[in-house]
Structure 1
């Protein structure tokens, strides 16, 4: 079995390496807010995901899905130390990062998270916070042991440079270690130069929307429509598995979601094969022909 160690330092407390994440983002936020009965569907999906082998759970303050994550964790037989829990601070929160995280603990039912991110570099000033003051408080969550790792989401290069400069006042252990962005073959750089900057500065990119191209490949003029069927046949894998494996081989960690049991299982079956270098390059090349961003409104 071929495994990719994206970073040997990123592990659960019990020592499990950080693998694919299951998300509770935009889709679930909209569903739960539209109909409270969908809350149970999300809880059941999370329980199924953990049962099938997902132990990396991704939520956020603004999603409104932290309570569902907490309920799922209460109903499954798993040690907290075996899980990786990520949540995110909303720039539009009523609270600062420390208080918001502690409020999240009440909803999730934990006393620490493995990863705490600032969700976006957008500030209206109503809560009294800006990028500098918020990032300093995020650093404080790590100092206090409330978050094991810290990072950002949807940050461009100038914003990353700003938090790096702030972090260096405290020490290298407080540098941002993650940047969660939309990432797939049609969008390798959510912002100019972002991928290379993160790689150069040892910032692990997490990919939300890694399967976004699948909503476009049925259109014959899209380049992946010509590539994925051939690669799926070559490797004996689904289109989704090919895309997820490509993401991994770009040294990026996918965060995806599904309520379908078979698809959940298939998403984890991406560590038993590798794409050839030529196949990776072929998928890389599609962005030269077509670019597409699926999540144009962040927050």
Structure 2
């Protein structure tokens, strides 16, 4: 699987792996709240990019809300000479009501990323207080006609929302080519995820898996202290004992293949024809992540892991919780953007 083509589209990836940059923001708020160990240095980010580029990775994920756009700015600086395939996102905050709001966000992301056209522009959440998903797909189609985006993607959409978005894309004239969701061995056997996956397969929508290793839950470095602060564990309402049979099975496969647990969990995603999206904060994490490439779990080992996968999905979150997330994230985005405008948007470590 050396080349992954998204929905028979012109956007091609050299390898089925994406790099996430949620923690690449540079504001004071990122330094003190988002990134518990402080913001990444420019040198570390360059080293991560060099490792990923050498492994053939061409897909980088960001969002206007990551550091209020400072994550996008950093990617724009790093790739000014030769941009990779960028995925970034529009946040449907409550105060955003019109197609013009969508277009303004696209143009601002283009400016920060230093590109004229964004390859894949995602709707960060399918929920809004009063606008339908079809309304935002129409906005994306208008931006595509103006040459501002190449294709549209989704994020956190269930089966019904994927189907509606694809139908709207066909109606308005913009390809809806991917759905970025929480997809891992932590939730593979949930009904909502299985339905979403089947719908995406049917409609040719590529699944991009965020938190494919559960932010450390499925790696060898998990400790009880890290467990207490793990966000996926809280989101999925997991207990420590819930994950032990799964972790034991992953460790068994890791020893069999001479790989790390994280590499096994990522390769499992790839064997399901899913693009794992990994957040890299260090050179070590980058090296471990690209180690999921160039080999394959045997079909029996994939099925063994399938059988012990858990079944609690974020796609089952109630609407009110999603609306609250978008609203709070929108406030954080505005605060970070204000800090950046006030000159507090470049807090990086040496």
**What TM-score comes out, normalization by structure 1 length?**
0.83
Question: Do 1:210 and 1:255's aligned partners in 2 also have CA atoms closer than 8 Å?
Answer: yes
What are the ranges of 5 or more consecutive residues in structure 1 without an aligned counterpart? Answer: none
Q: Which residue of 2 aligns with 1:212?
A: 214
- Of Structure 1 and Structure 2, which has the larger fraction of its residues in helix? 2
8 A contact 1:246–1:280 mirrored in 2: yes
1:240-259 alignment runs, 5 A limit: 240-259=262-281
Distance 1:216 1:235, change over 3 A: closer
Q: What residue is the counterpart of 1:84 in the other structure?
A: 85
TM-score, length-scaled by structure 2: 0.72
Q: CA deviation at 1:146?
A: 1.4
What secondary structure, in the 3-state scheme, does the structure 1 residue paired with 2:302 have?
helix
Q: Residue in 2 aligned with 1:278?
A: 300
Q: Distance in 1 between matches of 2:139 and 2:82?
A: 28
Instruction: Say whether the 8 Å CA contact 2:63–2:90 is kept in structure 1.
Output: yes
Compared with structure 1, are the counterparts of its residues 110 and 261 closer, same or farther at alpha carbon in structure 2 (3 Å cutoff)?
same
Q: CA deviation at 1:131?
A: 2.0
Deviation at 1:7, TM superposition (A): 2.1
Cα shift at 1:200: 1.2
CA contact (8 A) 2:193 2:313 kept: no
Partner residue in 2 for 1:110:
115
Q: CA RMSD in A?
A: 3.0
- SS of alignment partner, residue 177 of structure 1: strand
**Contact kept? 1:22, 1:49, Cα under 8 Å:** no
User: SS state of the match for residue 186, structure 2?
Assistant: coil
Q: Is the 8 A contact 2:63 2:71 kept in 1?
A: no
Distance 1:86 1:49, change over 3 A: same
1:92-148 alpha-carbon deviations (Å, 9 max, x no partner): 1646221111011222222221110111111124xxx43222110112222222112
Question: 2:195 aligned with 1:180, yes or no?
Answer: no
**Cα gap change, 1:227/1:192 in structure 2, threshold over 3 Å: closer, same or farther?**
closer
Decide whether the 8 Å contact of 1:22 with 1:56 is kept in 2.
Answer: yes
Whether the 8 Å contact between 2:159 and 2:196 is mirrored in structure 1 is yes
Structure 2 CA distance, aligned partners of 1:164 and 1:10? Answer: 14
